[in-house]
């Protein structure tokens, strides 16, 4: 058979790594060219990966939740029915199978077949990959690296290796409790196979998965294996101290690790959260931020929202205050076009944009993202409503593409949905301004000389002072408020 390998591709913008979120196939499944085999999350978005050839899944080389560098092989697929390449199959299969198949490769190197597209067949035999796999298999069975190497060279000692007195490292193998607890941690750096709940259990109990003997199918560590390792670490501390002093440092603090995990939790920063953190730090310490505020009466806009909802011409569209706020921003940009710009640091130039890619900040389970509506200035109110609905739905599903988050010009963030009055938002990198919309609340307000209950909100505009000075920023913010206070200006100012 022929084993073809599918590598983690660069899914866009030169990103160097991606996290495997979900596998849609398992070993033994048949796949076809173009079939989606997994979903990965980059620093920008979640992306589904199709496989470019037909075959049967031979092995998944990484588990869900693992971050993989671009160019690393993530799945191996059998694409032929030939029988002339046992060594290639063994190189990707389970380590135990590798130890048996390696001698066959050494005995008949001329029978090798190409494994990767674009690579020829080498007449020279190599035992590097089988030896590495054999070490992984031997370590999981309590065999020292030297014995594993000899197991590859001579197949006869493979079966008795764990108990043979001569070829096996003397200290780690002699006492029974030592092998599962301490020896594997010293002999291999391979990542043990275990499901996420089992990994969490091991972390909570302070157990190193590399020091656990797996009993599950395919060498997978089970919950019972973790509990057994924890019991062994507590009930037999003397054996560990006597035979393997080095691992004691990792095994002894187990009770403290449990206590610490109950008091605090560490969450790895990766994917969208990682790139958002980097972008916000870069923006905060690169662009000189200025924030201005305005509080005003939006009662007329709220009445217009209700009227538009009842309009049969807009039936089926999502009509809400954010839609009219977005339209007001577009009108204000038309009246103050210089706010729609970016700063070119290399050329020391201000780049005026004659288009508006309106960003809408969206909170998703994977973190904050800012997709934008391309050419929002050309859209009618119904078209803008449709674009907003599609943008929000795609973001919530985690399907926003990297292209949807590029080349934004100005952003709106609606903190009012959380009951917040306003804030001082940080600019999305490369953009000139960001508008924070506060909660719309019924408050006492002077209207036509009398104090009445009115719908009131506060807007906060942060802008890059290199691009927008105080006068321009103030006019722009005042125009947005004027449109929302008297929405007829959506017509008269357009």
Report, as residue numbers or ranges, the catalytic residues: 465
* Contact (CB, 8 A) for 357 and 408: yes
CB atoms within 10 A of CB 219: 19
Within 8 A by CB and 6+ apart from 226, the residues are 198, 201, 202, 205, 207, 209, 212
With a CB cutoff of 8 Å and minimum separation 6, the contacts of 421 are 438, 439, 458
Tell how strand 193-194 and strand 220-221 pair up.
parallel
Residue 491: CB atoms within 10 Å: 8
| Cβ atoms of residues 216 and 225 within 8 Å | yes
> d(Cα 76, Cα 84) in Å, to the nearest integer?
17
Distance CA 458, CA 297 (A): 9
- The alpha-helical segments, DSSP class H, found in 154-270 are 170-173, 178-181, 183-187, 196-205, 223-235, 237-243, 248-251, 254-263
Q: How far is CA 371 from CA 57, 269, 402, in A?
A: 35, 21, 9
Tokens encoding 442: 């019924």
Query: 474-487 b/e with 16+ CB inside 10 Å = b?
Result: ebbbbbbbbbbbeb
List the one residue out of 68, 61, 65 whose CA is nearest residue 197: 65
Q: Which helix (H) or strand (E) holds 190?
A: none
| Cα distance between residue 132 and residue 135, in whole Å | 5
Cβ atoms of 77 and 89 closer than 8 Å: no
> What is the spatial distance between Cα 255 and Cα 209, in angstroms, rounded to a whole number?
16
Burial of 417 (0-12, 13-18, 19+ CB in 10 A): exposed
* Distance, CA of 309 to CA of 315 (rounded, Å): 7
Phi first, then psi, for residue 54 (nearest 5°) are: -90, 160
Q: What is the Cα 135 distance to its own chain's centre? A: 32
């Amino acid at each position: 058979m022929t084993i073809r390998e599918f590598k983690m591709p660069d899914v866009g913008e030169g990103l160097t790594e991606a996290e495997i979120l979900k596998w849609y196939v398992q070993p033994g499944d048949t796949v076809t060219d173009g079939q989606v085999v997994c979903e990965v999350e980059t620093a920008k978005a979640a992306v589904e990966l199709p496989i470019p050839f037909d075959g049967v899944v031979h092995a998944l080389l990484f588990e869900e939740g693992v971050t993989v560098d671009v160019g690393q092989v993530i799945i191996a697929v059998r694409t032929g029915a030939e029988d002339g390449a046992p060594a290639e199959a063994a190189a990707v299969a389970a380590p135990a199978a590798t130890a048996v198949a390696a001698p066959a490769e050494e005995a008949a190197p001329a029978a090798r077949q190409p494994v990767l597209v674009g690579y020829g067949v080498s007449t020279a035999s190599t035992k590097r990959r089988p030896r590495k796999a054999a070490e992984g298999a031997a370590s999981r069975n309590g065999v020292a690296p030297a014995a594993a190497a000899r197991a590859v060279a001579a197949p006869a000692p493979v079966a008795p290796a764990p108990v043979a007195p001569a070829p096996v490292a003397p200290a780690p193998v002699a006492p029974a409790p030592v092998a599962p607890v301490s020896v594997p941690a010293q002999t291999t750096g391979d990542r043990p196979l275990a499901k996420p709940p089992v990994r969490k259990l091991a972390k909570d109990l302070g157990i190193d998965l590399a020091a656990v003997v797996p009993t599950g199918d395919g060498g997978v560590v089970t919950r019972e294996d973790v509990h057994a390792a924890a019991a062994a670490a507590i009930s037999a501390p003397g054996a560990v101290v006597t035979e393997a002093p080095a691992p004691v440092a990792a095994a002894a603090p187990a009770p403290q690790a449990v206590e610490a995990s109950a008091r605090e939790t560490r969450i790895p920063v990766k994917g969208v959260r990682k790139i958002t953190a980097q972008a916000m730090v870069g923006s905060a310490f690169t662009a000189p931020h200025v924030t201005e505020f305005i509080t005003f009466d939006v009662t007329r806009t709220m009445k217009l929202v209700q009227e538009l909802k009842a309009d049969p011409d807009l039936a089926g569209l999502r009509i809400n205050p954010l839609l009219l706020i977005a339209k007001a921003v577009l009108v204000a940009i038309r009246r103050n076009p210089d706010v729609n710009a970016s700063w070119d640091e290399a050329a020391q130039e201000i780049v005026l944009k004659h288009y508006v890619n309106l960003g809408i900040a969206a909170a998703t389970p994977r973190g904050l993202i800012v997709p934008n509506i391309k050419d929002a200035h050309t859209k009618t109110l119904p078209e803008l409503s449709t674009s907003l609905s599609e943008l929000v739905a795609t973001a919530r599903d985690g399907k926003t593409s990297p292209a949807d988050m590029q080349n934004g010009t100005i952003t709106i963030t609606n903190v009012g949905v959380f009951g917040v009055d306003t804030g001082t938002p940080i600019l999305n990198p490369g953009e000139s301004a960001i508008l924070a919309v506060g909660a719309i609340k019924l408050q006492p307000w002077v209207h036509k000389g009398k104090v009445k209950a009115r719908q009131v909100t506060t807007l906060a505009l942060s802008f890059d002072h290199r691009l927008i000075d105080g006068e321009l920023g103030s006019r722009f913010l005042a125009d947005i408020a004027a449109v929302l206070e008297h929405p007829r200006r959506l017509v008269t100012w357009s």
